[in-house]
């Protein structure tokens, strides 16, 4: 990463969130049965079609470094996709419009398959497949790093980390005096949560998003951590939520309790769901179940 420059979205909540990114990582890592994948494959070529895609290298330096490296694994950290190569690590943050696909370089007829209008980065592999980063709004970014901690060390713990106990989480919350929703979406506090899953988790424990973090009792902190984990796990099981204009992979949107349901009855008490702004983010609550103290 360029000296003195942090990723500009550590405090922001942009689609996709942890369950969507986890779903994408799994789909890239584990192709459908009988389909070839790119794990263990060597990079034979790279194209950078918009240099702004790269956060820390010039297109020439990126192409020179990644060519010849073999892809060892594909994972996730927070909202980042993590591509572990034999020498370097490539990080991709999709933000609001990014998408990744694996496709064959040539058609069954032997013709080159053209790249699409908003394809900004493409890696070609030895087995004739390529990984393409499509990024219409140009918000997404890619890094190629010797040590991914240059970027990832800015992130808070993963919600599913075993060391993140209820007691530790309570200490984290009460060690700050911030409104709950902006704090939970701060990627330096907790990695992976965004607008959707924060709203859903807060509803499950009946906490108002403007509640001060240092006002929570230990029991409330434990319940909140469990709700965060439960709602994220539900999202992962359903392949995420398909409400973003690019991501269309999941069905969790069919199981929202409050998010995006302004004017609908609360599933618990029947009061109409309201929408308010919290930290400049559209926020959905049940005003009866989630009363502000």
Encode the chain (293 residues) as per-residue pLDDT tens digits.
333 333 433 334 446 899 999 999 999 998 876 677 999 999 999 999 999 999 999 999 999 999 999 999 999 999 999 999 999 999 999 998 899 999 999 999 999 999 999 999 999 999 999 999 999 999 999 999 999 999 999 999 999 999 999 999 999 999 999 999 999 999 999 999 999 999 999 999 999 999 999 999 999 999 999 999 999 999 999 988 886 555 566 889 999 999 999 999 999 999 999 999 998 899 999 999 999 87
Give the active site residues: 16-17, 79, 281
Residues 84 and 62 both lie in one domain: yes
Q: Is the model's pTM score more than 0.85?
A: yes
Residues 142 and 26 both lie in one domain: yes
d(CA 277, CA 282): 5
Which range of residues forms the domain containing residue 276? 166-285
Residues 52 and 140 both lie in one domain: yes
Please choose, from the candidates 23, 38, 26, 186, the residue with its C-alpha nearest in 3D space to the C-alpha of residue 126: 38
Residue 111 lies in a domain: yes
Report the CATH number that the domain containing residue 28 is assigned in CATH. Answer: 3.20.190.10
Residue 130 lies in a domain: yes
Please count the structural domains in the chain. 2
**Sequence-ordered list of residues with C-beta below 8 angstroms from that of 108, at least 6 positions apart, any chain:** none
Residues 277 and 172 both lie in one domain: yes
Report the CATH number that the domain containing residue 219 is assigned in CATH. Answer: 1.10.8.50
Residue 92 lies in a domain: yes
């Amino acid at each position: 990463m360029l000296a003195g420059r942090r990723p500009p979205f550590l405090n922001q909540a942009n689609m996709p969130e942890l369950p969507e990114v986890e779903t994408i990582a799994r789909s890239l890592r584990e192709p459908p049965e009988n389909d070839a994948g790119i794990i263990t494959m060597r990079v034979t070529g790279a194209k950078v079609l918009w240099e702004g895609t790269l956060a820390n290298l010039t297109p020439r330096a990126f192409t020179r470094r990644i060519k010849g490296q073999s892809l060892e694994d594909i994972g996730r950290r927070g909202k980042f996709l993590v591509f572990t190569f034999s020498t370097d690590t490539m990080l991709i943050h999709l933000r609001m419009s990014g998408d990744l696909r694996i496709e064959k370089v040539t058609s069954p007829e032997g013709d080159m398959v053209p790249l699409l209008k908003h394809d900004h980065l493409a890696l070609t592999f030895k087995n004739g497949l390529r990984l393409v980063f499509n990024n219409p709004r140009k918000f997404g970014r890619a890094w190629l790093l010797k040590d991914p901690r240059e970027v990832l060390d800015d992130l808070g713990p993963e919600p599913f980390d075993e060391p993140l106990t209820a007691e530790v989480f309570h200490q984290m919350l009460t060690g700050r005096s911030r409104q709950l929703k902006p704090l939970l979406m701060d990627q330096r506090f907790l990695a992976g949560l965004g607008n959707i899953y924060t709203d859903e988790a807060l509803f499950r424990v009946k906490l108002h998003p403007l509640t001060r973090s240092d006002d929570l009792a230990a029991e409330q902190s434990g319940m909140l951590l469990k709700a965060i984990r439960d709602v994220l796990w539900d999202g992962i099981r359903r392949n995420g939520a398909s409400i973003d204009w690019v991501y269309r992979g999941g069905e969790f949107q069919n199981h929202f309790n409050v998010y995006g349901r302004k004017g609908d009855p609360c599933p618990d008490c029947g009061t109409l769901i309201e929408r308010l702004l919290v930290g400049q983010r559209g926020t959905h609550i049940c005003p009866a179940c989630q009363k502000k103290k």
